[in-house]
Structure 1
Amino acid sequence: MTASHQVPNEPEFQQARDEVYVTLQPLLEKKPEYKRALEIIEIPERVIQFRVVWETDSGEVRVNTGYRVQFNSALGPYKGGLRLHPTVNLSVLKFLGYEQVYKNALTGLSLGGGKGGSDFDPKGKSDREIRRFCMAFMRELSKHIGADKDVPAGDIGVGGREIGYLFGAYRRQRNEFAGILTGKGGDWGGSLIRPEATGYGLVYYVEEMMKHAGNTDFTGKRVLVSGSGNVAQYAALKVIELGGFVLTLSDSKGSLVSNDSRGFTKADIGAIAELKLARKYLIDWYNASSELQSRFTYHEGARPWTLVQKVDVALPSATQNEVSGEEAKALVAAGCKYVAEGSNMGCTKDAIDVFEAARLAAKDGEAVWYAPGKASNCGGVAVSGLEMAQNSQRIKWTSEEVDARLKQIMINCYQNCFDTAKLHVQDGAGLPSLVAGANIAGFLKVAEAMRDQGEWW
C-alpha cells in the first residue's frame, strides 16, 4: 500500500494517511521493513456500525447511525472520543481514529487509538431527547467497550451532560460501575483539569517550541485562536495567564477580532463559555451591548487568519482543515512564528507545505514552526489516561498534581518530536520538522509494539 492507493469516498482519511506516509519517507528509505507495519496500521482492527433508534418529545421515532472505529490496541485499550455532529461519517471517524493512534502513542501512556460517534445533532434538541438518544446509543456501544478494552471520551457535541447520560446508561444496563468513559463528573470518577487539558496542553507545547526556537515565552505575544469551544477557551485563558494577548475567537458563523492590542479578557472568556453552554453564537454575545461592539469587530462567515495584520502565534482550535494554503501565506506575511493545532488536522496539506517551506527558507531566527495536532493537542487524551489511572486505583489527585503531570507529558512529547526529527530527517534547516518528528515517533512506538506481539515481522 502506498500514498497513491486511494480510499474510495473517504477524503478525510485519505488526507490523514497521505500526510503520515509522506513524512515517514526518511524512515522508510533507511528501514524499508517498516513499510509492512505501515500497511497493517493503516487498516482498523475493527469497525462497528449500528443503528440508533430514539424518540422525540413529540413521540416521533428517529434513527441515526452510530459508529466505533477500534483502530489499534497494540499499546493499550482503545482510547478516543465520541463525536455527535451531522458531519460524522466513516471517513471522518477513520481519520480521527488514525490520528488518535499516533497521538496516544506520543503521550507516553499505555493507550491504543479509536474514535466513534453518530450523525445525531444535539443542537436544537431538548435534554430529554439527548438523554433518550444517549441511552439508545449506549445500548449497542456497551457491548464493545470496557475499562480494559475501549474507553471512549467526549468530543464535538459530547460534553459533561452527554458523558453523564452515557455513563448512567452503561451503569444501569451492565449493573457495573467502571471507568468505561473519561470526562466524567468530579463526584463520580472524573479527573480535575480534564476540561482544561487540551487547551492547557496546547499552550504548554508551544511554550517548549518558543524556548527552543527563540529563547522566548508568551509575554506580549499576539495570539490568534480559532473556535470558541472548550479547547479554544482554555487555550485562551492559559495564554492570558502567561502574559499573551488573545486577539481572535470564532465559531461556525464568523469571527470576533479585538480592536486593540489588549484582546480578550478572562471575564470575556467566562461570558463566552456561558454563551456556548446555552448553545448560542458569538454574534449573540457581540450584539448584546454597545461596549462589546466598540471593543471588537465581527466578521461574518470569516475565519481569523487573514483578519489581523501582525501575528506571533496561531492556534487553530475549531475543526479539521480550518487553515488553507492562502490563509497560511497570510499568517506568514503577518509575521507569525508559531502555529500549533488545538484541533485535529486543523491545517490543510497546502497550509502545512507553506509553513514547512517557511521553516526551511528561514534565516536569522525568522523560522515559522508548525506543530501537528497529534502532538500539540494530545494533552486532552493524556489527562483522560490519568483519569483512567485514578479510576483503577480508586483515588483522586489534586488539580496541581494533574496539571504538573500534564505539563511534563507535553514537555516530553515535544522533546520526543524534536529529537526524532533531528535523528531521522536531514533537511538542512536549523529547526527540525515537528510534523515529521511527531509522525515518526508515534509510528515507531506502535510498530515496535506490534512487532513484539507478532503482528508483523
Structure 2
Amino acid sequence: MVLPVEPEFEQALSELEHSLKPFLTANPQYEKALEIVQIPERVLQFRVVWEDDQGQPQVNRGFRVQYNSALGPYKGGLRLHPSVNLSILKFLGFEQTFKNALTGLSMGGGKGGSDFDPKGKSDSEIRRFCVAFMSELFRHIGQDTDVPAGDIGTGAREIGFLFGAYKKLRNEFVGMLTGKGMNWGGSFIRPEATGYGLIYYVEHMIAKACPEFSLDKPSTLVAISGSGNVSQYTALKVMELGATVISLSDSKGSLINEKGFTPQAIKEIAQLKLKGGALESIWKNLGEGYVYHAGKRPWTLLPTIHIALPGATQNEVSGEEAEALLKAGARIVAEGSNMGCTLEAVEIFEKSRKSGGKGVWYAPGKASNCGGVAVSGLEMAQNSQRLAWTTKEVDAKLKGIMAECYQICLTAGSKWSGEDQVDGVLPSLLSGANVAGFIKVADAMKEHGDWW
C-alpha cells in the first residue's frame, strides 16, 4: 500500500474522478482533460521573514497555488493557519476552480496562504507579517492576473494590511484583493456572502426534498459547526428566516442550545472570535440553555437535527458522525466549509439518498458555499466600474447566482449520476456539481488549445 503524499488533495481528486465516471464513459475524449486539469498551472512557495515585538526575526512559509485560469484570473483566498501546507492549498485551489465555474462569473481557481498563526499575535506583528508576505506575493498577483481574498485567519484587518503593502509596492490603487473595507473598494454583503449564499442554496433543497422543514418554521432545527465568519452569518440568516439554530463549535469543543441560539449570543461570539477567543471562555455568560462539550463536534450531541451545515474546516464530519446525523433525522447536509465531510461520510449520505424515503440529501461545498467567491466576483466587477452597488442589489444578484448554481447541479446530477431515475430518489448534487464544473472548465481549456 502506497501512503498518500498529499492526502487532502488526493481525497478531492478521488471524489471528482468517482463523480466523473459515468460522464467519461460516455465521453472518453475528456479523460485527457481530467489528466491535465488536476495539475496546477503554477505553484509558488516562498520564505516570509518578519520581526516580532521583541525585535527577533521569525520565519514562515508562504504559498500561492495558481491552479487554473481557463475561465478568468486566478481567484481564491489566503489562509493563515499553522496547518497550512501544499496538500491543503492544492485541494482548496482544485475545488475553487470548479466552484468558481459554478458561479457563472469569469474567475479561475487559486489558493494561497501561510503557516503563520495570527492567534496570540499583536496587531503590529500581524502588520509586519502581512508586509513581508506581500513583498513577495505582489510580483505574482494583480486585478487581471490573480485576485486573492480572505480565508481562515485572514479577515478585514489582514486584508487591509495586505492591500496597503501592495499599494506602496506598486504605486497603484486597483482591485487586486477582495474583502476590502467598504470605504476603499469593498462590496456590501461580502462578509455575509458565504453564510447567506449557503442558506439560499439550502432553501431550494428544502423546497424539493422536505418542505416540512422550511426555514420559516421555529420547529426546524439547524445544527451548524464552526463559529467564524461563515457560521456566524449562516446562523443569523437562519434566525432571520425563523428557524432554530441549536449548535456552533470551534477547534476546542461545541456549544449546544436545544432551545435555540439568540442573535445577541451570535454577536457576542463574533466579538470573542475577533479577539481569538474560544467558546469555552464565554458560554456561561450567554444565558440559559447553553451547554459546552469540550473536544466534541455537534453531530453526535443532539437527539434531533433536521438540517446540518458543517461550517468549520475540511473533514469535520466522519463516517460515524454521518450515521449519527441519519439517526437524528437529518434530511439536508450542505457544506459551508470546503470538503467538510470525509469520503466515508459522503458515501453514507449518498447511499441513504438512493434508498429514498427519509435519507440525507447532500450538497458539496463547491456548490453550496460558492456565495462567498460569487460576491468577491461582484466586488471585482464593481471595482472595474469604479461603482458601488447597494446592499439590495448585491443580495439580489447573490440569490440569483445561488439559484442558478442549484439548478445547474440538479440538472447535471439527474443526467450524469449514473443512476436510473427512480420516483422518490433525488438526483446527486455531488455528481451534478462535479460534472458541471468540470465540463465548463474543460471546454474552455480545449478552446484555448490546452488539450485536444
TM-score interval, smaller chain:
over 0.9
Letter in 1 for 2:401: I
Cα root mean square deviation, aligned: 1.2
Residue 167 (structure 1) aligned with residue 159 (structure 2): no
Residue 113 (structure 1) aligned with residue 109 (structure 2): yes
Cα pair distance change 1:7/1:151, threshold 3 Å: farther
Cα distance in 2 between the residues matched to 1:413 and 1:164: 31
Instruction: Work out whether residues 103 and 405 of structure 2, in 8 Å CA contact, stay in contact via their aligned partners in 1.
Output: yes
Q: How does 1:106-185 map to 2 (within 5 A)?
A: 106-185=102-181
Instruction: Work out whether residues 224 and 310 of structure 2, in 8 Å CA contact, stay in contact via their aligned partners in 1.
Output: yes
Q: How does 1:231-250 map to 2 (within 5 A)?
A: 231-250=230-249
Residue 384 (structure 1) aligned with residue 381 (structure 2): no
Post-superposition CA distance 1:179-237 (Å, at most 9, x none): 00000000000000000000000000000001122345212310000000000000000
Correspondence for 2:55: 59
Query: For 2:390, which of 389, 398, 408 is the aligned residue?
Result: 398
Q: How does 1:69-108 map to 2 (within 5 A)?
A: 69-108=65-104
Instruction: Work out whether residues 7 and 14 of structure 1, in 8 Å CA contact, stay in contact via their aligned partners in 2.
Output: no
Q: How does 1:249-268 map to 2 (within 5 A)?
A: 249-258=248-257, 260-261=258-259, 263-268=260-265
Query: For 1:310, which of 300, 304, 310 is the aligned residue?
Result: 304
Q: How does 1:23-42 map to 2 (within 5 A)?
A: 23-42=19-38
Cα distance in 2 between the residues matched to 1:58 and 1:333: 53
Please give the secondary structure, in 1, of the residue aligned with 2:44.
Answer: strand
Correspondence for 1:269: 266
How far apart are 1:383 and its partner, in Å? 0.1
Post-superposition CA distance 1:228-265 (Å, at most 9, x none): 0000000000011111100000001100111x43x101
Residue 456 (structure 1) aligned with residue 451 (structure 2): yes
Post-superposition CA distance 1:145-198 (Å, at most 9, x none): 000000000000000000000000000011010100000000000000000000
Post-superposition CA distance 1:98-149 (Å, at most 9, x none): 0000000000000000000000001111000000000000000000000000
Query: For 1:16, which of 12, 15, 20 is the aligned residue?
Result: 12
Q: How does 1:294-443 map to 2 (within 5 A)?
A: 294-363=288-357, 366-428=358-420, 429=422, 430-443=425-438
Residue 209 (structure 1) aligned with residue 201 (structure 2): no
Residue 198 (structure 1) aligned with residue 197 (structure 2): no
Please give the secondary structure, in 1, of the residue aligned with 2:407.
Answer: helix
Cα distance in 2 between the residues matched to 1:107 and 1:406: 9
Please give the secondary structure, in 1, of the residue aligned with 2:188.
Answer: coil
Instruction: Work out whether residues 210 and 331 of structure 2, in 8 Å CA contact, stay in contact via their aligned partners in 1.
Output: no
Instruction: Work out whether residues 248 and 254 of structure 2, in 8 Å CA contact, stay in contact via their aligned partners in 1.
Output: yes
Query: For 1:187, which of 183, 187, 203 is the aligned residue?
Result: 183
Post-superposition CA distance 1:64-85 (Å, at most 9, x none): 1100000000000000000000
Q: When the two structures are aligned, how many residues end up with a matched partner?
A: 446
Cα distance in 2 between the residues matched to 1:242 and 1:105: 29
How far apart are 1:8 and its partner, in Å? 5.0
How far apart are 1:442 and its partner, in Å? 0.2
Letter in 1 for 2:173: F
Please give the secondary structure, in 1, of the residue aligned with 2:237.
Answer: helix
Q: Which runs of 5+ in 2 are unaligned?
A: none
Instruction: Work out whether residues 421 and 434 of structure 1, in 8 Å CA contact, stay in contact via their aligned partners in 2.
Output: yes
Runs of 4+ in 1 over 6 A off after TM superposition: none
How far apart are 1:7 and its partner, in Å? 8.8
Post-superposition CA distance 1:370-426 (Å, at most 9, x none): 000000000000000000000000000000100000011000000000001112224
Q: Which runs of 5+ in 1 are unaligned?
A: none
Please give the secondary structure, in 2, of the residue aligned with 1:139.
Answer: helix
Instruction: Work out whether residues 164 and 185 of structure 1, in 8 Å CA contact, stay in contact via their aligned partners in 2.
Output: yes
Task: State the percentage of identical aligned residues.
Answer: 64
Instruction: Work out whether residues 153 and 183 of structure 1, in 8 Å CA contact, stay in contact via their aligned partners in 2.
Output: yes
TM-score by length of 2: 0.97
Cα distance in 1 between the residues matched to 2:308 and 2:417: 25
Cα distance in 2 between the residues matched to 1:111 and 1:278: 33
